[in-house]
Amino acid sequence: MLSSAMSSNVEKEAYSFYDTYTVDSDIDIKLPRTKIQFKKLDNGFAYFREDSEHNTIEKSIPSMKSIQVTIAPVLPINLPAKKTNGLIFLRLDKQILVTPESNVEISIKVPIEIGVFIKSELSSDMLDVITCEPMHSRFGLYGVPDGGNLCMYSKVSQIYDKSPEPYVWAKMKITIKNELKQGVKIGKFVFPITAHKVYYKQKSTEVHIDDLTARVYSDISGENMELVKTVFATAGGDWQISDAGTDSSTSFVMDKGFD
């Protein structure tokens, strides 16, 4: 039995919610381009997953009773491997023009991964991590080859009226403060994503990541942009935190260009 429900908009696609499920028999959990199965065995459960590129993984979970399984969004840092020191490079599909000495607010898509957790009274252990969009599992370099920063990379767009594709994207608000006396074009953001928390609502597909403030300024080295994490304004209430990050560094200075 799978003890959860589907919302009307998700049910059309037959996808499962972000939620904690009680698993005591064979079940399927459905995500975009991803197939997950739990099968009941005499001495526990078997876990099977096939992703959008037909890669498969199988694991066993010894247990003489039902298990608690949580499906929740996590930071996009695990796939294909942890090699970036937590940095992410978001390339906008369209540049933003910010006029002189002005502030603007935008909302953008941010890639996410999906964590599969086995919960107990004492712990919550990650069984598997999945991306429902394989194009997110890429690296990018910010700066020159011999001295740049290796980052997770994704091409993103602004969010206007429609919500981003569930299980693939989260929302993030960015406040851009241009302190220069001339306009600037901004086409990318690089920052430590591991300083951010991921927020989601149970029995839902809604996901948000801590916001950013981007300050454009000049010094003796030229024009720079400092990005600083700001806490998601409506955190609390019925929002759950699925990934609290591990990085104490909450800012990054883009001194190698941001257009």
Instruction: For 182-233, write each residue's pLDDT tens digit.
Output: 999 999 999 999 999 999 988 888 899 999 999 999 998 889 999 999 988 7
pLDDT at 90: 95
Residues of the chain with pLDDT under 50: 1-12
Residue span of the structural domain in which 38 resides: 8-254
Assigned domain for 2 exists: no
Asked if residue 249 belongs to a domain, the reply is yes
Per DSSP, which regions of the chain are E strands? Answer: 19-23, 27-31, 34-41, 44-50, 56-62, 67-74, 87-98, 102-111, 113-119, 124-130, 138-142, 149-156, 169-178, 184-192, 198-201, 207-209, 211-219, 222-230, 239-243, 251-254
- Residue 8 backbone phi and psi in degrees, to 5: -65, -40
CA distance 84 to 86: 5
pLDDT value, residue 39:
92
Identify whether 57 is part of a domain: yes
Specify the pLDDT at position 7: 37
Q: Is residue 172 part of a domain?
A: yes
Question: What gap in Å lies between CA 156 and CA 106, rounded to an integer?
Answer: 12
Phi, psi of 235 (to 5 degrees): -60, 145
Asked if residue 111 belongs to a domain, the reply is yes
On whether the CB atoms of residues 197 and 221 are closer than 8 A, the answer is no
Angle CA 169–106–81, to nearest 5: 35
Q: According to the model, what pLDDT value does residue 201 have?
A: 86
Q: Does a structural domain hold residue 3?
A: no
Does residue 171 form part of some domain?
yes
Total domains in the fold of the chain: 1
Predicted confidence at residue 147, as pLDDT, reads 80
Provide the pLDDT for residue 198: 94
Cα of first residue to Cα of last residue in the chain, in angstroms, is 52
User: Maximum distance among all alpha carbons in the chain?
Assistant: 71
Write down the pLDDT at residue 6: 37
Q: Give the model's pLDDT for residue 5.
A: 39
Q: Before 164, cis peptide (omega within 30)?
A: no
Asked if residue 259 belongs to a domain, the reply is no
Predicted local confidence at residue 13, as pLDDT: 57
